[in-house]
Amino acid sequence: MWILLLLPFVGLLWVPFYNFTEPSLFGFPFFYWYQLAWVPISSLLIWLVYRSRTPDEAP
Amino acid sequence: MADHIEWVALAVFIFFFALVTVMGFLAARWKAGPVSEHLDEWGLGGRQFGTWITWFLVGGDFYTAYTVIAVPALVYAVGAYGFFALPYTVIVYPFVFAVMPILWSRAHANGHVTAADVVHGTYGSRALEFAVAMTGMVATMPYIALQLIGMEVVIKAMGLRGELPLVAAFIILALYTYSSGLRAPALIAFVKDIMIYIVVLVAVVIVPAKLGGYGAVFAAANDAFAAKGGATGLILKPAQMLPYATLALGSALAAFMYPHTLTGIFAAKSADTIRKNAILLPAYTLLLGLIALLGYMAYAANIKVSSPNDVVPMLFKVLFPSWFAGFAFSAIAIGALVPAAVMSIGAAKLFTRNVWKSYVDPNISHAGEAAVAKIASLVVKVGALAFILFLPTQYALDLQLLGGLWILQTFPALVFGLFTRWFRSEGLLLGWATGIGWGSWTAWSNGLKPLATIDLGGVSYVFYVGLAALVLNIAVAAVATVIVGLVSPNRASATAQS
């Protein structure tokens, strides 16, 4: 599961993936909405890893 | 920028400033502990902050007022390239999730208060501890100065002249930080963050509605960049891609090496608090992405400014009624107070624990540590203020840039020891020195640009100097560790204990 944490690095640091204006969404060029979309996706990925790990302590 | 005083905006501003001042002084009693008797109380709020307080505190000191001013300013000036703050503040969280709970556990188990404490605890090396502590202090100073610039910009936008308002605001900040410690910015962070969220959400809905939608905003910016030419535009030029990615990665690795961000980590109640925050903090990144777009909205609103830093205040003044502009300016100014307070606390803790305690008074009591740290926080703030009042603003910007490069060089010493005991302190120290030396020299010889160029097989690559210095740092540390291991196979006794 921990490998999921690497996906945001791949998705955002390989710039040729997303350095375009089309297709645009709600007026946002692709470059912008693609990177903004990574914000909730990263949260989701971290949450998945969080859920899968065994708790290390009593709260 | 404004030639007359905006009374309505100023009244709103003074109201909120007074509100947080009262909160700052009362904060000493919040979740009260003996604030003056233990550094954990003054400097870490008693190590008891749960998920929400940590969320507001780290959100408040990581996404600073200067960010609200500077990111849209850069986007306004160069376009897509200025957006690197977004990938930077996304990829930082998988890193925080994976590393910071381990760091917290190490610090918590051993009563460590600073990064340099952890490094000393791991390697038993006073020299490496001192290197990490000095780097933290030196890198933080210009960062505090930048917060002042953020405050200065909005004070000017309300038509106030002279430096007196800035000095007054800063003295008030210094006094309540002195008396309440980390509890003050933690409590004020609630107000600041809620205000910033309101301002940005209103702005990103109302402004495009007034200007004809996001399509029109991007089109206006596109036209402006087409007219302007050069390395600007809505997407990156091919030559900008590597600088963009390396700046994002280098900044993300450096972000949680700073004393102020680590203060938020160490003040958390549990390792799980930090993990939950790695999931929740990206909400601020969404906000930052939207704030960055204010730079494009300025084009759609036909705003012309002489200094890009004035873009955001001008946008609010032109498009909103005076009371809301005042509300926005208060949000930005209060947004400067929170990080400035936490930064001065972080630097003061380093001085107390890793300079004063290590070299001047090793037998200092807990109350003595708190007393030294309180005085040190005042000195740090006065230093930052003097910086802004007496030196050109550009110095603060240049030093902040170098500060990012420097703080990144403490990464191997602080982070590697959490996972492996293979590296030797001598190697890490040599790597640190090489990274700082090479990085500073390279940035300096490029006219203090954060980018360096290297030619490989006839193709030149441009990248972020700090990241390259980190790679060099790690390589030197590894080679030196091997050599030291050959010369003296037995580690110093302090290294064996954890």
CB contact under 8 A, B90 and A50: no
Interface probe for B, chosen from A14, A36, A51, A53 (most Cβ of B below 10 Å), is: A36
Which pLDDT score is estimated for B436?
93
CB contact under 8 A, A21 and B293: no
Reply yes or no on whether the pLDDT at B493 is more than 60. Answer: no
Q: How many CB atoms neighbour CB B337 within 10 A?
A: 29
Say which residue the tokens 């501003």 belong to.
B13
For A28, which DSSP code? B
Domain tally, chain A:
1
Name residue B280's amino acid.
L
Q: Is residue A43, in this structure, part of any structural domain at all? A: yes
- Selecting from A2, A29, A38 the residue whose C-beta is nearest the C-beta of B218 gives A29
Reply yes or no on whether the pLDDT at B350 is more than 60. Answer: yes
What's the mean pLDDT in B335-340? 86
Helix, strand, coil abundance in chain B, percent, nearest 5: 80, 5, 20
Query: Rounded distance, CA B53 to CA B31, Å?
Result: 12
Residues in chain B closer than 8 A to A59 (CB atoms): 270, 272
pLDDT in tens, A1-55: 888 889 999 999 998 888 888 888 888 899 999 999 999 999 999 999 998 887 7
Residues in chain A closer than 8 A to B237 (CB atoms): none
Query: Rounded distance, CA B283 to CA B361, Å?
Result: 43
Q: How many CB atoms neighbour CB B345 within 10 A?
A: 29
Say which residue the tokens 């340099």 belong to.
B116
Q: How many CB atoms neighbour CB B175 within 10 A?
A: 16
Q: Is residue A35, in this structure, part of any structural domain at all? A: yes
What's the mean pLDDT in B414-427? 89
Q: Is residue A59, in this structure, part of any structural domain at all? A: no
- Selecting from A16, A36, A46 the residue whose C-beta is nearest the C-beta of B241 gives A16
Q: Is residue A57, in this structure, part of any structural domain at all? A: no
Q: How far is B33 from chain A (nearest CA, A)?
A: 21
Q: Is residue A48, in this structure, part of any structural domain at all? A: yes
Q: Is residue A33, in this structure, part of any structural domain at all? A: yes
Nearest to B97 by CA among A3, A54, A46, A13: A46
Which pLDDT score is estimated for B498?
41
Q: What is the ipTM of this complex?
A: 0.91
Q: Do residues B102 and A57 lie in contact, with contact meaning Cβ atoms separated by under 8 Å? A: no
pLDDT in tens, B428-473: 999 999 999 999 898 888 877 788 887 777 778 888 889 999 999 9
Which pLDDT score is estimated for B156?
82
Q: Which of A39-43, B301-305, B413-417 has the lowest mean pLDDT?
A: B301-305
Residues of the domain holding A38: 2-52
Q: Phi first, then psi: give them for residue B462, nearest 5 degrees.
A: -110, 130
Say which residue the tokens 């990464």 belong to.
B411
pLDDT in tens, B219-256: 888 888 888 877 788 888 888 888 899 989 999 999 99
For the entire predicted model, the pTM comes to 0.88
Q: Which of B68-82, B174-188, B384-398 has the lowest mean pLDDT?
A: B384-398
Q: Is residue A8, in this structure, part of any structural domain at all? A: yes
Mean pLDDT for chain B overall: 85
Question: For the CA atoms of chain A, what is the radius of gyration?
Answer: 15
